[in-house]
Amino acid sequence: MDLTQKEEARVPASSLALVAARVEGWLGGMVEVSVGLLTALEVLILLAGVISRYVFRNPLVWSDELASILFLWLAMLGAVVAFRRGEHMRMSTLVARAPPRWRTFF
């Protein structure tokens, strides 16, 4: 299938399908923005917890729990983003560096 056939296959058939595609695109964009913000927030919370614990010797007891809850949300929303993109959530560093015959194994 060449590029024009793929584009034609993605064109909605009715106005309802067009509206649904726009809503899906909008929601998908909102999920991606949310994932980005949650990732930044997760990093800041973990950094604050590490600095509080090891620099000031006074741990933030709530930071680990909040980071755990945010990580669960990140996992679920990250799965949504990966599903929309037709990708798989994986660490591709090892796969990219592996010889071609081992890539299928990884």
DSSP string, 13-79: SSHHHHHHHHHHHHHHHHHHHHHHHHHHHHHHHHHHHHHHHHTSS---HHHHHHHHHHHHHHHHHHH
pLDDT of residue 102: 84
pLDDT of residue 11: 58
Residues in the chain with pLDDT values less than 70: 1-12, 89-91
Angle at 69 between CA 68 and CA 75, to 5 degrees: 90
pLDDT of residue 53: 94
pLDDT of residue 82: 87
CB atoms under 10 Å from CB of 7, counted, come to 9
pLDDT of residue 39: 94
pLDDT of residue 29: 92
Phi then psi for residue 87, to 5 deg, are -115, 175
pTM: 0.67
Cβ-contact 97, 65 below 8 angstroms? no
pLDDT of residue 91: 67
Distance CA 13, CA 59 (A): 57
